[in-house]
Structure formats: C-alpha cells, structure tokens
Amino acid sequence: MIVAAGDGPAGGGYKAVSVGSLAFGFCVAPTHPLALLKRSVTRDDLLLHTAIVVGDSARSLSERTVGLLMGQKRITVPSMAAKIAYQVAGIGHGFLPLACVQADLARGTLVQLPCEEPRPDETFWLAWKPGRMGEALKWWVTRLERPLVPNILPK
C-alpha cells in the first residue's frame, strides 16, 4: 500500500483512489526579509533566499522535487513538522499545508504572503496492487477509501 501526493500513480498495475487534497500557502516568519516586501513574491525574490524542503521518503523511485526553482538554495529536512519549525524560526521559506499552520498564522509566528506563482492544491492518493489483497490490506482499503487529508496531518 502506498500513500502518494501529486499525480496519481501511472502504470505498474496499481489501483488508486483519491483520499483528499490540501491547500498550500507561501509562509515565512514575520521577521524574514520576504515578509517586508509589501508585494507579491517573485521568482527572483525566491532565488535570493533559502527554501526549506521535506526530503522525499520514496525508497525505490527517482527523486521528486516540488516547488523549487533551478539553482535555488535549500535546506532539506526529514518531516513537515521540521519544515514548519524551520520556517517559524525564520531560517527559510516555502509553501506549507494551510491545515497544518492555522495556529501559527493566527498567533503571527508565520505570515502567508502572496506569490506570483501560487502552488495549486495537492491531491493525495492511496494505491495498492489489487492482485495482492491480504486481510490487512482489505481492512485498510475499506477504511481509507474516504477523504483523509487534511485530517491526518499534524496541526
């Protein structure tokens, strides 16, 4: 069983169902230089500052990069919680799932900025190989064939 973001799995004999989607916002600490721009953030602005990215956890697929520009400085962290913490600390910038940062936005520890190139909502998929349905997979598929995201993400 696989939970994947982005486009549904292509080929490979998988059955896939959408389990929800997330809206993203471009967020920085209120002390970050990008927060002082008072205008939409441009591609050139992004290249001047470090992006915080979550490392891809896929073990056997080619590496996938989402939302980075060619040549952009970045710090790779192991989880979404770490990414949020780095951005709250003012270390870098990036798009964050709005469902995960509502409290930070309300407290003012993060601010959401307009971007010339906003990130579209991200669809999440549950996929499995139908010919290999053991009892455990049947149990999961029954329970997971409903909208899950953003309910399973940390708040």
SS3 assignment for the chain:
CEEEECCCCCCCCCEEEEEEEECEEEEECCCCHHHHCCCCECHHHHHCCCEEEECCCCCCCCCCCCCCCCCCCEEEECCHHHHHHHHHCCCCEEEEEHHHHHHHHHHCCCEEECECCCCCCEEEEEEECHHHCCHHHHHHHHHHCCCCECCCCCC
The DSSP letter of residue 115 is: B
Write the CB contacts of 56 (distance below 8 Å, at least 6 apart in sequence): 63, 64, 65
- For residue 20, the model assigns a pLDDT of 80
CATH code for the domain defined by 2-144: 3.40.190.290
Instruction: Report the range of poorest mean pLDDT among 5-14, 54-63, 81-90, 130-139.
Output: 54-63
Q: What is the pLDDT of residues 50-65, one digit of tens each?
A: 999 998 755 444 444 4
Average pLDDT of the residues in 25-38: 96
Q: What is the pLDDT of residues 75-110, one digit of tens each?
A: 999 999 999 999 999 999 999 999 999 999 999 999
Q: Which of the two residues, 17 and 88, has the higher pLDDT score?
A: 88
With cut-offs at 50, 70 and 90, classify the pLDDT of residue 153. low
In the chain, what are the domain boundaries?
A: 2-144
